[in-house]
Structures are given as C-alpha cells and as structure tokens.
C-alpha cells in the first residue's frame, strides 16, 4: 500500500519536477544524528499532510517519516520558496494537464499551511 499511495501522491513526473527545486541539506558539523531520509519519502509525507488535511502529529507511520521531520522540512521548503518555484515549474512544464491541477492543489494548501503555521 505504501508504494501505491506514494506513486499516487507524488507521481514520477511530479517528483522529477520537484527534486531539483529542493534545497540541499548539509551534514551536521558536530556529526552524529540519524542518516538522512529519502527526500521523496519526506516530500510524499508532506504532500499527504497538505492534501489530506490531517495535522502534522497525526502523520501515519506508514510513510516512514516522523511528524517532526515532515513539519521541519515543510518549514524549510516554505522559507526557501519551494512552493512558488514548483508552481512556476509546473505551469511551464505540465501545462493544463491533470498533474498540473494536482500541483496547483498542493501549492495552494502549502501556502495556506505556511500562513497558519507561521
């Protein structure tokens, strides 16, 4: 179910559009910590929260991403301008197709969450 849900929430076309727009994360200078999670897994978890309307703390375990990590990345991505860049890239690349509509829904809810969380 997890792979099927992941492909439905973040189809390959959307991921190929999003991946280059994500800001990079550098290693912690003090070392330690846990190994980085798959960016696609985190993005999928964030998209789930945005489009389902659930709260961050109720993110299902099936995504393999903690609610704190999902929310932290959402905040970093919001502050970096990801949602605006994704909206612009989708308009240029996807035109008016159904995936463009899905991206528009994601961007719209991300902008609503940014205002509500911040």
Domain segments of the chain: what residues?
2-21+38-117
The reported pLDDT for the residue numbered 96 is: 56
* 82-111 pLDDT tens trace: 988 988 888 777 665 666 677 777 777 787
CA dist 8 and 12 (Å) reads 9
**Beta carbons within 8 Å of 73's beta carbon, 6+ residues apart:** 42, 43, 46
pTM above 0.85, yes or no: no
Q: What is the mean pLDDT of residues 37-65?
A: 92
118 pLDDT band (50/70/90 cuts)? Answer: very low
H helices, E strands: number in the chain: 6, 0
Residue 41 has pLDDT above 60, yes or no: yes
**Beta carbons within 8 Å of 37's beta carbon, 6+ residues apart:** 64, 65, 69
């Amino acid at each position: 179910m997890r792979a099927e849900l992941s492909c439905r929430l973040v189809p390959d076309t959307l991921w190929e559009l999003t991946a280059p727009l994500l800001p990079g994360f550098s290693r912690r200078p003090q070392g330690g910590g846990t190994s980085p999670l798959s960016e696609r897994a985190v993005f999928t978890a964030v998209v789930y929260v945005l489009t389902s309307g659930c709260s961050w703390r109720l993110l299902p375990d099936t995504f393999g991403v903690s609610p704190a990590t999902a929310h932290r990345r959402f905040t970093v991505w919001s502050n970096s301008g990801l949602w605006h860049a994704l909206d612009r890239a989708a308009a240029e690349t996807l035109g008016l197709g159904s995936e463009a509509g899905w991206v528009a829904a994601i961007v719209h809810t991300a902008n609503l969450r940014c205002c509500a969380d911040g």
